[in-house]
Amino acid sequence: MQRLKFPKGFLWGAAGSPYQTEGNNTNTDWWAWEHSHKRVEHLEKQGKDPKAYFSGIACDSYNRFDEDFAIAEHLSHNATRFGIEWARIEPRQGYFDESILDHYEKMLQSAKAHGLTVFLTLHHYTLPKWFAECGGFEKQENVRLFLAYVKKVSKRLGEYVDFWITINEPEVYASHGYFFKKYPPQIRSLSRCIKVVNNLILAHNQASDILKFNTGKPVSMAYQLSDLQPASFLGRITTAVAHFLANSYILERTVGKSDFIGMNYYTHHHVGLLGFRKKSGTGHILTDVGWGIHPEGIERVLLSLKKYNKPIYITENGVADAKDMLREKYIKEHLQFVHSAIAKGADVRGYLYWSLIDNFEWSEGFIPRFGLVEIDREDLLRRKVRYSATKYAEICKNNYLEM
């Protein structure tokens, strides 16, 4: 058996996001979309029960956060990633609800009391309804509205935050909302998608200055980076284009303002000449959501980041696996390649599994189960630690992996 040691002080933990876990985020564009006539009708036409796709009470983590952090501590995590919901904090433009800020302060204090280093996300897909209604990130002049929120929360909550994540997966947010029509506002327009991307870049770069000035803590986006490999000789051209669009366009324009690189890694794609992206599953074991498992890819992506000369934290990596048959192997194999990337010079300093608890998986509802901890939706959202979580806990505790 081989023992793979991780660098001293390595951060171990799991991640989540407010909309997916808190419940009752009624003031967001997502909530409005979930309940919209168009969305409900669409699900019914597919023979699905719309109720299974309402986020509702989610995991009730708005009230049960202390229980969740206690589980993380029990599982030997020393770090956590979660977010705060802008729509709760600023329910109307310019009005910041102090009672909600008090709530998030308690939540941050709880994370600290459980010995967790905190990565705090400020924007994870959802928007306050009022912000979406005035054009959201499509309008450059709206960036200042996001910055006002950033200013407020950095002053009020900054003392508890160790790492800031300004925006989660800007490439997914823009492409799914403004091109693939998967997420609200379900638009298909390349020009509008590009506008959103450029405004998110601006938002990050300016937010980074504010966060550093007000708190002095390191800042990054959580970039979703995929391993893209040509499916054929000619596919090398489309791979280069796909790599530019999916991985490097935003990163190159924001990395100068990021103190570390927050990296979310899930998928590997074979890129063909015409197909742009072939199924990620080609030739690999598939997760419950049909994504191919490809741990080698994480090493390639990490090594591609070496040139930026910044510390890297893996802010998401995980598997939808309701039966808990794949998760232990998934984590261990990915970590094996993370270890190998470190040995080859990638400055990786932490790993946050996605996710701590089963949660609301956006347009897929509650069906995909990514959690280290099961949420029993038939039994008052009872938290049940999965076997794989205990195996991951051993790695967190030891700071090494045995293969």
Interacting residues with ligand BGC (CB under 6 A):
17, 20, 168-169, 172, 224, 264, 316, 354, 361, 370
**Is residue 279 within 8 Å of 227, Cβ to Cβ?**
no
Helix (H, G, I), strand (E, B) or coil at 148: helix
Strands, E, within 75-184: which ranges? 79-83, 117-123, 163-168
Q: Token pair of 24, please?
A: 């009752």
76 or 388: CB nearest ligand BGC: 388
Distance (Å, rounded) from C-alpha 243 to C-alpha 227?
Answer: 9
Q: How far is the CB of 365 from ligand BGC (least distance, A)?
A: 12
- The minimum distance between CB 360 and ligand BGC, in angstroms, equals 8
Between 87 and 172, CB nearer to ligand BGC: 172
Q: At what angle do helices 387-398 and 327-343 cross, to 10 degrees?
A: 20
Given the complex with ligand BGC, which of 6 and 313 has the nearer CB atom? Answer: 313
Rg (CA), the chain: 20
Closer of 6 and 351 to ligand BGC (Cβ): 351
Nearer to ligand BGC, 53 or 370 (CB): 370
Three-state DSSP state, 137:
helix
CA 242 from centroid of its chain's CA atoms: 21
Q: Are strands 219-224 and 163-168 parallel, antiparallel or unpaired?
A: parallel
CB of 370 to ligand BGC, least distance (A): 6
Least distance (Å) between residue 280 CB and ligand BGC = 12
User: How far apart, in whole angstroms, are the C-alpha atoms of residue 371 and residue 357?
Assistant: 4
Strand partners, 128: 28
Cβ 142 to ligand BGC shortest distance, Å: 22
What minimum distance in Å lies between the beta carbon of 71 and ligand BGC? 19
Looking at the Cβ atoms of 354 and 392, the one nearer to ligand BGC is 354
Q: How far is the CB of 9 from ligand BGC (least distance, A)?
A: 25
Distances (CA, A) of 109 to 104, 162, 217, 351: 8, 12, 17, 22
Q: Which two tokens stand for residue 87?
A: 């729509």
Compare residues 178 and 370 and give the one whose CB is closer to ligand BGC: 370
